[in-house]
Structure 1
Amino acid sequence: MTEGLVQIAAEVETFLASLPPGAGRVTLRPLTRHDEDEFTSLTKASAELHHPWMSLPATAGEFQAYLAHFDPANTRRLLVCLRDSGDIAGMVNINSIIRGRFQNGSLGYAAFAPSAGHGYMSEGLALVLRYSFEQLRLHRLEAQIQPDNHASIKLVKRLGFRHEGYSPEMLFIDGGWRDHERWAILNPDPWPAHPSLPNP
């Protein structure tokens, strides 16, 4: 693993160690190059579930390009895994992490078809919120969701996100510029008192 991935793995491990032993049905770990076969197989199996909301790497070349664009300074690529088996149930990216006076991250997430519909992503995303707020000490997380993606909107509502607005043609997805609703959630225990100072 690169130095950045090693740091993120340690960060996630520290967070998980703070949780009660065996809590929940899922756990988190960073995405690495060793996940290529399982990840691309799951992407192919989930094509109908993901279309037209998002596109994930489905070939070795796409996966390698996906990893190559990863910047550990402002991104976390996390896998939601079943605690009992270790199988990947979904993925959550914390993108565009901005520190200073913003302390904000933008979420992208997806369940994988073989384990979808069992509430694993709800548990996994809730863990990511805790990790973002308690370990990364972010102040705010946002999610941009296409208006017809009702399952995703229900998920963020269930976790306490609030609707902030509507942005026409916000993101280029599936061959066109797509409208998105903007949803966000704030850290219930805001930190730091002086957000312009460096995060520890």
Structure 2
Amino acid sequence: MRPNDRYLARGPRVAIRPFTAADRDEFTTAARESAELHHPWLFPPVTDEAYDGYFRRLQEPVRAGFLICERESGRIAGFVTINNIVYGGFRCGAIGYGVFAHAAGRGLMSEGLRLVMGHAFGTMGLHRLEANIQPANVQSIALVQRAGFRLEGFSPDFLFIDGAWRDHERWAITREMLPEDAG
């Protein structure tokens, strides 16, 4: 069980906390076990070297990474990253996320994403979060729809994923779109 003082926010079933170097073994094991679930949308680090590089990048000021942990066991259920963070008049970031196979289909990502959104719009001072999702990734689209994101557009050949440039839908949410009790 992880110490509760590391959690940034808590929900009924999950809590969020920053990534640590010590999470490498648990994270990469869960990523390997979830490869079939993630393909072809997502490729989280599955080796020690890949995790170490990923963790280093998450320490950059334009990024933030959050682990979604089951409150009862402390086990990592998934993750949300905020990338390309810009402050000033924009106060925006682009999110990426994934659930691990053992936690999929249980609503833990929905709860965890809402906690990250509250932290991003509160403590981090962001005004807008964006999610770029491949149109065929219906589960990911359903996740952001449940969280209140709106569809804002379509970007052809937007990201290079799995060996090709992939089209993406642009989804976004602003602080004003959150329910009063969410942020």
2:65–2:81 CA contact under 8 A, matched in 1? yes
1:118 counterpart = 2:141 = no
CA distance in 1, matches of 2:96, 2:125: 19
CA distance in 2, matches of 1:189, 1:69: 30
Cα root mean square deviation, aligned? 1.7
- The answer to whether residue 48 in structure 2 is matched with residue 60 in structure 1 is yes
Q: Output aligned runs, 1:1-200, within 5 Å.
A: 13=7, 15-16=8-9, 23-188=11-176
Identify if the C-alpha distance between structure 1 residues 189 and 144 changes in structure 2 by more than 3 Å, giving closer, same or farther: closer
Residue type of the partner of 2:45?
P
CA distance in 1, matches of 2:174, 2:56: 30
* TM-score of the two chains, using structure 1 as the length reference: 0.83
Please, which runs of 5 or more residues in structure 2 have no aligned partner?
179-183
- Tell me, which stretches of 5 or more residues in structure 1 are unaligned? 1-9, 191-200
Amino acid at match of 1:61: E
Could you tell me how far 1:61 is from its partner in structure 2?
1.2
Q: Which amino acid aligns with 2:51?
A: F
- Kindly report structure 1 stretches of 4+ aligned residues shifted beyond 6 Å: none
Query: How many matched pairs?
Result: 174
Distance 2:156 2:65 in 1: 27
TM-score using structure 2 length = 0.90
* Aligned-partner residue type, residue 102 of structure 1: F
Residues 84, 94 of structure 2: 8 Å contact kept: yes
TM-superposition CA deviations, 1:109-160 (whole Å, max 9, x none): 0000011110000000010110111111111000000000000101111111
Task: Return the index of the structure with the highest Cα Rg.
Answer: 1
Once the two structures are TM-superposed, the CA of residue 189 in structure 1 deviates from its matched residue by 8.1
